[in-house]
Amino acid sequence: MGDGALSVREKSSTARVVPPARPRKLAKVPFVELADGRLQGVVSSGSDIGRVYVSSVEAGTYAFACSTNNNRPCGGARGWFCNHIRALVLEAVLQYGVERVTRYLKVEVGGEAPDGDDVTHAMTATRPVNGDGSAAAQVFSRFLRHLAYLEFEPTTAPLPEMQWFPTTRAVA
């Protein structure tokens, strides 16, 4: 039945295009995403519970930036990746899988089963420069938008549209 010329993915209504995130511990890096042409996210401060760092690495150039949510520059991110950015890369690989992260950032990693450290190495080896950090406010507001998803009221009215989004056992 159906058109033999199309692949199963092409003629499927319910093909899974984006696998769900892999579960990970959120205490250290509560938010990470691949968006706006960057790997970006929010990293908890190791010393101050009320402080977070907004960190990002640009796709392609690996230009990086790290500052607090109050826009103070991170002392560790002068000239090289700070520990916040390293943690961000590791958690991104945990959440999305190494394939999606390297594809998005345009990173070439060799080896059998590359991990987060390999991705970091591949980027630092190109001697990336400090970005201008102008994205911090935007990243932080995306984090707040992300947190707001916990606050919306659940509903018991049916959402027939969710039939197009079956759960899957596959993970990123």
Q: Which is nearer to another protein, 132 or 161 (CB)?
A: 161
Least Cβ distance, residue 16 to another protein (angstroms): 8
- Which residues in this chain contact another protein in the complex, by CB under 8 A? 1-3, 6-18, 20-27, 30, 34-37, 50, 52, 69, 95, 100, 143-171
Least Cβ distance, residue 163 to another protein (angstroms): 5
Assigned token pair, 152: 């919306």
Least Cβ distance, residue 72 to another protein (angstroms): 16
Q: Which is nearer to another protein, 81 or 88 (CB)?
A: 88
Least Cβ distance, residue 121 to another protein (angstroms): 25
111: left (phi over 0), alpha (psi -120 to 50) or beta: left
Per residue, the 3-state secondary structure of 60-110, as one string, reads CCCCEEEEECCCCECCCCCCCCCHHHHHHHHHHHHHHCHHHHHHHHCCCCC
Q: Which is nearer to another protein, 112 or 149 (CB)?
A: 149
> How far from the centroid of its chain's Cα atoms is residue 58's Cα?
12
Q: Which candidate, 131, 108, 144, places its Cα nearest to that of 37?
A: 131
Q: Which is nearer to another protein, 23 or 111 (CB)?
A: 23
Query: Which residue shows structure tokens 């450290």?
Result: 117
